Amino acid sequence: MTAATLTTMSPRRLALHRLLRHGSFWFGGGAILLILLVALVGPLFTLDPVAQNLGARLVPPVWDVRGSWAHPLGTDQLGRDLLARLVDGARISMFIGIATVLVSGLIGTAMGMAAGYFGGRVDLVINFLITIRLTLPVVLVALVVVAVVGSSLSVLVVVIGLLLWDRFAVVTRSATQRLAHSDFVIAARAIGSSTPRILLVEILPNIVGPLIVVATVEVAHAVLLEAALSFLGLGVKPPLASWGLMVAESKNQLLFRPWLIAIPGVALVTLVLAINLLGDALRDVVAPEGRA
């Protein structure tokens, strides 16, 4: 018998193949990679982001006639180097975005899989929890909790993580429900598989696609939420640099030195846009039926 070649690619190779031909993937992924790289190694090359120099306050960026290469993006009202703070802020945004989605993804996926697989009362209770979560105004609850507990990076991660699991749960629940009665899951039960094995080995790999899409959306969501909380003074505490905090600290300068707000604002928009573009590309590849 001749070794017949397989006419089609494996699902994983096929998905990768489609992804590599997607424009949004290259733009979004590239921008995220760049920001991630800046966040990781940037601090080695920039000035101290918290060092104040009251002699060099509000220096404009280098493209202004009064600017200089000593401070490429200028300084803020306390004379801190804006580029250094921007790079430092990228670390905070990236950390919050990824860490919160790990928390919320774990909670939401576990709840969604339990609801979808066991059905019945488990489903009822989890649906109730999802509904309750959806009725809570996220920003308000986060504000109250942070105001009561106090603010730190870990508190922010936990609070935002505990608030953003709903979409994971909803998507996981319906995807699991669809698979729970499929023949291959029944076959897995017939060969004696334990319930954890069925959930982790049979079902989870089949719902990873939509979960990655949700995760990208939620990273963007968390980044914006952190910026909003920091802007309101209940997120990252000064002198740490966060893009939301940088906007807040400079809001008095809006009319006279707009770059102080524009620079962190553009950074925030670029990051969120890049994440959403990447999410779009992933959705087109792994869950094309969900295309709006």
For another protein, the closer of residues 9 and 254 by Cβ is 9
55 in contact with another protein (CB under 8 A): no
Between residue 90 and residue 149, which ones bind another protein under the rule CB under 8 A?
Answer: none
289 in contact with another protein (CB under 8 A): no
Which of 68, 131, 152, 194 contacts another protein by CB under 8 A?
194
Q: And the tokens for 283? A: 């959705």
Number of residues that bind another protein (CB under 8 A): 25
182 in contact with another protein (CB under 8 A): yes
For another protein, the closer of residues 18 and 237 by Cβ is 18
193 in contact with another protein (CB under 8 A): yes
For another protein, the closer of residues 174 and 193 by Cβ is 193
190 in contact with another protein (CB under 8 A): yes
- Minimum distance from residue 16 beta carbon to another protein (Å): 14
Between residue 198 and residue 257, which ones bind another protein under the rule CB under 8 A?
Answer: 202, 205-206
- Minimum distance from residue 34 beta carbon to another protein (Å): 32
Please report, as ranges, the residues that interact with another protein according to CB under 8 A.
1, 3-4, 6-11, 182-184, 186-194, 197, 202, 205-206
